[in-house]
Amino acid sequence: MAEVIKDWDNFKIVAPPLAGALLVKGLRRGRPVSAGEVLARRQGESFGDIHAPVAGVIAEISSTEIVIRRDSAAVGDPPRPVDLSGLSRAGLSRVLKELGVDLPEFLPGAPVIISTFNSEPGLTFALALLNEHRETLGAGLVAVLALNPGARVIWAVDRPGQAPAGVEEYILKYRNYPKTLPALVKKEIMGNYDPAGRGVLGLRDLQTLGRVFRTGLPLTHLVLTLGGANYFVPVGARAIDLLTFANLLPGPGDAVVAGGLIRGRTLARLEQGLGKNIEGLHLVRAPAGSGPPAPCRRCGNCARACPVGLPLFLFVHREPVAWPGLINQARSEWSGCLGCGACALACPVGRPLLALSRLLKA
Ligand code: SF4
Ligand code: SF4
């Protein structure tokens, strides 16, 4: 049931992605690691370091990932909790980063918006987090205010009476995708369009922040939607193990999508471990009898559906072979593209508009 989040513990191997992080000294194949031990440090102030999600032995280290074979007897005690109370704002940011949290980007003087919606189709954990993890969300809110002293916090909801006591509430008027994307939640509340949606936190971000702030322990597990259910899974859980557990192994032509169903990315390698930013894993069956899309009907649905008014009509009636010549002209306008796929969803003949949008934004 989507409203319950279970722990997923059904794995022998994890492979946390390195994402450009620098390995700590002395890490090598065959070395035992304890659960929560730091493995790699990420550069930049806002990216959290990477920790072993479980105790085990390092089976392999490549330029992209660290593979750990699980073995609970491999090494002794996990790290001791860090006391986060009474730290300065800079001190708290530093320690949260060291404990693995990717820090949200807050704009000075701007409100912080907490969106209680699943940002896109295929993700279902928002209600479960609201129902089952109120206390941890509350700790996340305390952490947000410690990182942004005096900030105005707005809790975006679908009906009144859901915000924690003392927190301003905003009832979102438009709740259908793509209006649930952070940038569009912010646009509705604040009136300005910021494609990065800075200052908007989803409940997954808030729960993660709250969990680390409350326990003082490294971030090792995050919530993920898998086959319509929700689980706390270790950072670096491998797609192949999750799909096997959920009985969702792909057949010829099927795709495995990591993220949401619209903006997610197709995985090329199922043995890869999922990073902290992956919110869902889906099997998308190959459509029966699919062929090349029919010619554009010039209906204009795609341009009307675009929530930020991008000029899709420049492209839609031309064949993809003509796109490269047009792309350079349009690239600057496309920096505001959300990759929301509303244009593709509105197309009656299935033109590859999301692929076009990604190409333009790249
Ligand atoms: S993906 Fe399509 S609908 Fe969405 S913002 Fe980009 S061009 Fe507009
Ligand atoms: S929605 Fe599809 S068919 Fe209609 S104008 Fe856009 S690309 Fe053409």
Of all ligands present, the nearest one to the C-alpha of 339 is 1
For residue 309, which atom of ligand 1 is closest to its CA?
8
For residue 346, which atom of ligand 1 is closest to its CA?
3
Q: What is the pLDDT of residues 265-281, one digit of tens each?
A: 999 999 999 999 999 99
Is domain 6-81 given the CATH code 2.40.50 in the classification?
yes
Give Cβ neighbours of residue 158 (< 8 Å, ≥ 6 apart): 116, 117, 171, 172, 175
Pairwise CA distance, residues 92 & 78, whole Å: 21
Q: In what order do the strands lie in the sheet with 38-41?
A: 22-23, 38-41, 50-51
pLDDT on residue 72: 81
Task: Report which of 84, 123, 145, 140 is spatially closest to residue 258, judged by C-alpha positions.
Answer: 123
CA 204 / ligand 1 centre spacing (Å): 24
For residue 297, which atom of ligand 2 is closest to its CA?
3
Res. 320 pLDDT band, cuts 50 70 90: low
State the DSSP string of 142-179: HHHHHHSTT--EEEEESSTT-SPTT-EEEE-S--STTT
**For residue 290, pLDDT beyond 70:** no
pLDDT on residue 353: 83
Pairwise CA distance, residues 211 & 219, whole Å: 8
Task: Report which of 134, 128, 124 is spatially closest to residue 5, judged by C-alpha positions.
Answer: 128
Residue nearest to atom 7 of ligand 2 (CA): 316
pLDDT on residue 1: 43
Residue nearest to atom 8 of ligand 2 (CA): 296
Residue nearest to atom 4 of ligand 2 (CA): 299
The residues that bridge with 58 in the sheet, in sequence order, are 68
Residue nearest to atom 2 of ligand 2 (CA): 347
* Lowest mean per-residue pLDDT among 102-106, 179-183, 275-279, 297-301: 297-301
Q: Which residue of 316, 319, 357 sits with most ligand 2 atoms within 8 Å of its CB, as the best mutation to test the pocket?
A: 316
pTM exceeding the 0.85 threshold for the entire prediction: yes
Return the axis-axis angle of helices 125-132 and 203-215, rounded to nearest 10°.
40
CB 176 within 8 A of CB 121: no
CA 296 / ligand 2 centre spacing (Å): 5
Residue nearest to atom 2 of ligand 1 (CA): 343
For residue 312, which atom of ligand 1 is closest to its CA?
7
In degrees to the nearest 10, what's the CA dihedral of 288, 258, 64, 49?
180
Given the structure tokens 């660290």, which residue do they identify? 66
pLDDT on residue 362: 65
Q: What is the pLDDT of residues 28-52, one digit of tens each?
A: 999 999 999 999 999 988 899 999 9
3-state DSSP helix/strand/coil percent for the chain, to nearest 5? Answer: 25, 20, 55
Of all ligands present, the nearest one to the C-alpha of 338 is 1
pLDDT on residue 4: 67
pLDDT on residue 289: 63
Residue nearest to atom 8 of ligand 1 (CA): 306
**For residue 5, pLDDT beyond 90:** no
For residue 341, which atom of ligand 1 is closest to its CA?
1
CA 257 / ligand 1 centre spacing (Å): 19
Pairwise CA distance, residues 225 & 279, whole Å: 6
**For residue 214, pLDDT beyond 70:** yes
Ligand 1 pocket list (CB less than 6 A):
305-306, 308, 310, 312, 337-343, 353-354, 357
CA 352 / ligand 2 centre spacing (Å): 10
CA 300 / ligand 2 centre spacing (Å): 5
pLDDT on residue 2: 45
Ligand 2 pocket list (CB less than 6 A):
296-302, 316, 346-349, 351
